Structures are given as C-alpha cells and as structure tokens.
Amino acid sequence: MTDESNGKAPGRGRLTGRRILVVGGGQMDIGEPDTPIGNGRAMCVLFAREGATVAVADRDAASAAATVALCDGKAFAIQADVTKDADVARMVEEAGAIDGLVLNVGVGAGGPWLEGTTRESWDKVIAINLTSHMLTVKAALPKMADGSSVVFVSSIAGLTAGSRLPAYDASKSALFGLCRHVALEGARRGIRANVVAPGLMDTSIGRLATRGRPNRATTNIPLGRQGTGWETAYAALFLISNESAYVTAQTIAVDGGLSGL
C-alpha cells in the first residue's frame, strides 16, 4: 500500500489556517490491543498534519482526548452526545469559528432483516445516523465562514443493499438527500456539502461488524483488500480542502470498486 494508505505520508499544507470540527473524532475500543486507526481519528490526525486546527468531538471524552494527543498540539477535545439538542448547541459553540465540518457518527442496531428490526432499534439508528447530522448542520451552518465545506460520512450501504440492517441502510442513504439540501442552502454563501461513502474498511468498527457477520471478511473486493481509515481520511481531506472548490452535492465511494464493479 502507499504511504497515504498507511498514514505515513508527510503533510503538504493543504489546510493551513483552516479550522475544522470533526464530529465522531474518537475511536471505539473493541478490546483489541492493536486495532487499526478508524475513519474519524485518521481524519483528525490528517487534518492537523495538513495545518488545520481541529476540534475533536466525541461522546467518549477519553477517546477524543486520545485523538487530540496524536495531533501534535493542533487539536482540542469536545465531549458531546449529538443525539441531545443541548449538547449539539454547546459543541458548536465550543468549536468556535470554523470553516469545515465533518459528520462521522453512525451505528448499526437491531437484528438482521426487517424481522429483526424493532421500532426501538429503528428510532435509535435514525436518531444517531441522520437526525444528529441535521441538528449539527442546522446549528453550525449560520456560524460557518463563507466558502466553508461540510463532509458527511455515509457508507456504501447507502448505495447498495448489503448490511442486512434496514435502519442502517436507510439512514446512510438518507444522508445523500440531506447533503444535497445542505449544498443547495449553502450555495449562496459558497458553502459546499459532499459525502464520503466508505466500503469495507479495516477499522475497529469494521472488525466489530465482521464479528457479527464473519463472511464479511471474505467479500470479493475488486482491489483485493479492505480499506484503511487513512484512505477515508484522504477522500475527506480533498472534499474539505479548497482543491474541491467546484465540487458540491457529490458522493465519493471509497470502497476498492465494490459498489461500482
């Protein structure tokens, strides 16, 4: 794999002077000693490496702090549960002046198929995977600088059925519609909104998913391997940076060709 795929490439100043809020910048502890870096943590570290000041928000304060420790003094932590309106408002306030927002929060819940989906599990997933994104953008957009960028982290489960979790698939698909609205509403101020849709990634959440569905590990991926959190992070970096100044309301699938081939 390349240095970018392994998180070893040097920074190139692509976000110098920028101020980015990453929601979901911590990492789930699944009880493994050497779990690969997750999407949210990789984004925070990469953005800081590229010159940004990063507000790392997570429900788990210790996990957010652990991410901050990897950012060479260019980040600070915010503890917030984005399913709570008051926490969202406080998070946006504590983040201060920002010109970039990444929404990297999502869960799967309930049993497989419609048969295993309860009203309770459905509501939980929609609240975390979709409603929290709307609430955060609603609070942040009026305070963001003109020319800012918003990146939603969805999943190829929103592009093609496969997770076997109806609420997860539905919520990840709905993010595309929310993104298009944010892009429309933000356009008059030059604020862009786009989606990164990771595929099968070798992260803590990915490994947890494989525990629940072991055949996930044998999926035939055209590029021959699962992705890394760094590869999600580099796609987000492009969309959050000025390199994508004429890109809005679009989706980049980071999936080794799984959804397209």
∠54-56-60 over CA atoms, to 5°? 170
Taking the CB of residue 70, how many other CB atoms lie within 10 A of it?
15
Tokens matching residue 209: 């998913």
Query: Token pair 């709570």 is at which residue?
Result: 84
Give dist(CA 75, CA 65) in Å, integer: 9
Between the CA of residue 207 and those of 106, 177, 197, 258, what are the distances in Å? 15, 28, 17, 18
∠70-21-84 over CA atoms, to 5°? 110
Question: Tell me, what amino acid is at 176?
Answer: F
Q: What are phi and psi of 54, to 5 degrees?
A: -115, 125
Which residues are designated catalytic? 168
